[in-house]
Homo-oligomer: A and B are copies of this chain.
Amino acid sequence: MKKLNALYAQSGGVTSVINATALAVIETASKSKKIGKLLAGKNGILGILKEDLIDTSLEKKTELKKLLYTPGGVFGSCRYKLQDYSNQQREYKRLLDVFKAHNIGYFFYNGGGDSQDTTNKIAKLTSDLGLSIKCIGIPKTVDNDLPLTDNCPGFGSVAKYVATSISEAGLDVKSMSETSTKVFILEVMGRHSGWIAASSALGKTNKEDPPHIILFPEVPFQKTKVLKKVRSTVKKYGYCVLAVSEGTRNKDGTFLSDSGSSDAFGHKQLGGVAPIIARLIQENLGYKCHWAVSDYLQRSARHIASAVDLKQAYTVGKAAVNFALSGENAVMPSIVRIKEKKYKWRIGKVALSKVANVEKFLPMRYISKDGLGITKACNNYMLPLIQGEAFPPYKDGVPDIARLKNILVKKRLKKFPIKN
């Protein structure tokens, strides 16, 4: 019997280590000798619908190896959410047609909460129809907001970047504070959850170290309290550093910065809360402010990835393939913390139905009493995730990267128009 092929796709916002997961899927599938070709959807599920399938077997092994240190999504990702089966049978039918046409027996979908939901829906459909296709979700999100896993691959590296950047910039502001900038604001990602904002404090070893104030989406913005703390911090240390989540909200739930546009999942697209806070401080306290928005830099900063994160990103990819080969369906490999003190972890297994569409917020016990910092418990949880350096090789002064050919397999189906 001809071996079944596998199909892998990346979904949602990419990370600096998602390609390590891709490499693990490719390498584990190849080593198993039980899987035929490993195809990859070009631009995620959209490429599957369009039958744009990349034949990864045509890539050089030496180039594929570089995926371990290439940020971004090497096969392309997308923000495209499948509707419920009842509303959009056409797309589900198309997916099954593509699976059938390309002899797909294994489907791996690498993404966040929305993507796990998609994978679950496809798994349900294929098993309802009695098709032997193993659908496995693979966790990935810088937001660290998936439930039932101790943490998410992608987060540790952003955390390391943010903790390092705010420590470095803090030293800069401190130097300048006597005559110039007294307040520095770094805006970080985190639409609904403050995991990334919290990580800004991981380089802090004493009260004077930056950041002095963290704004979380979980804590409604209290103007008076924040301004008071900025002033007292400047009085005490001469300067003040704030880490501000893009999702910082007013009491009524509206975002401080709301650009008005939405992504395909219906999430508001944000950015630019830092200048708003800067203006507020400058106008009310008269301090000169500088601000930075790290945006994509933070989630693509492979040059300062966490070794623990990289290892976990690879391992969930490997585990996903092994789950599929052992007959599992509609599950996702999770990361289970075994020990807190000397950090140890192992791979667990969770049902996609329990992961889909659940967002894990920063628990209140991780936020300090005044709402403007993190607790020891938070530090204990996060610090292990940023340990170890995994520097990429450099070429001519910049990190070397994989340059794949991404050659598509021959199409076997008719065109499928998609409203994008």
Expressed in whole angstroms, the minimum distance between the Cβ of A43 and any Cβ of chain B is 4
> Whole-angstrom distance between the alpha carbons of A73 and B168 in the complex?
11
Q: Quick check: A296 and B387 within 8 Å, CB to CB? A: no
Q: Quick check: A71 and B172 within 8 Å, CB to CB? A: yes
| A381 / chain B contacts, CB cutoff of 8 Å | none
Q: Quick check: B16 and A168 within 8 Å, CB to CB? A: yes
Given A178-B46, A291-B293, A168–B77 Cβ distance below 8 Å? Answer: no
Q: Quick check: B288 and A176 within 8 Å, CB to CB? A: no
Q: Quick check: B160 and A296 within 8 Å, CB to CB? A: no
Cβ of A416 within 8 Å of any chain B Cβ, yes or no, is no
Expressed in whole angstroms, the minimum distance between the Cβ of A56 and any Cβ of chain B is 16
Question: Interface-forming stretch among A111-119, A214-222, A299-307, A331-339?
Answer: A299-307
Given A288-B269, A290-B296, A398–B178 Cβ distance below 8 Å? Answer: no
Number of identical monomers bound together in the oligomeric complex: 2
Given A294-B297, A296-B173, A167–B399 Cβ distance below 8 Å? Answer: yes
> Whole-angstrom distance between the alpha carbons of A269 and B170 in the complex?
19
Q: Quick check: A168 and B300 within 8 Å, CB to CB? A: yes
Q: Quick check: A271 and B290 within 8 Å, CB to CB? A: yes
> Total interface residues on A, using CB and 8 Å?
78
Cβ of A102 within 8 Å of any chain B Cβ, yes or no, is no
Cβ of A292 within 8 Å of any chain B Cβ, yes or no, is yes
Per-residue CB proximity of A13-57 to B under 8 Å, as 1/0? 110100000000000000000000000000110100000000000
> Whole-angstrom distance between the alpha carbons of A291 and B269 in the complex?
12
Per-residue CB proximity of A54-90 to B under 8 Å, as 1/0? 0000000000000000111110111110000000000
> Whole-angstrom distance between the alpha carbons of A16 and B164 in the complex?
13
Contact of A296 among B74, B169, B306 (CB under 8 A): B169
| A299 / chain B contacts, CB cutoff of 8 Å | 172
Cβ of A350 within 8 Å of any chain B Cβ, yes or no, is no
Cβ of A121 within 8 Å of any chain B Cβ, yes or no, is no
Cβ of A147 within 8 Å of any chain B Cβ, yes or no, is no
Expressed in whole angstroms, the minimum distance between the Cβ of A31 and any Cβ of chain B is 26
Q: Quick check: A291 and B295 within 8 Å, CB to CB? A: yes
Cβ of A184 within 8 Å of any chain B Cβ, yes or no, is yes
Cβ of A10 within 8 Å of any chain B Cβ, yes or no, is yes
Q: Quick check: A291 and B303 within 8 Å, CB to CB? A: no
Cβ of A130 within 8 Å of any chain B Cβ, yes or no, is no
Q: Closest residue of chain B to A163, judged by CB? A: B398
Chain A residues 90 to 144 lying within 8 A of chain B, measured CB to CB, are none
| A202 / chain B contacts, CB cutoff of 8 Å | 396-398
Expressed in whole angstroms, the minimum distance between the Cβ of A21 and any Cβ of chain B is 13
Chain A residues 175 to 207 lying within 8 A of chain B, measured CB to CB, are 175-181, 184, 186, 202-203
Q: Quick check: A168 and B399 within 8 Å, CB to CB? A: yes
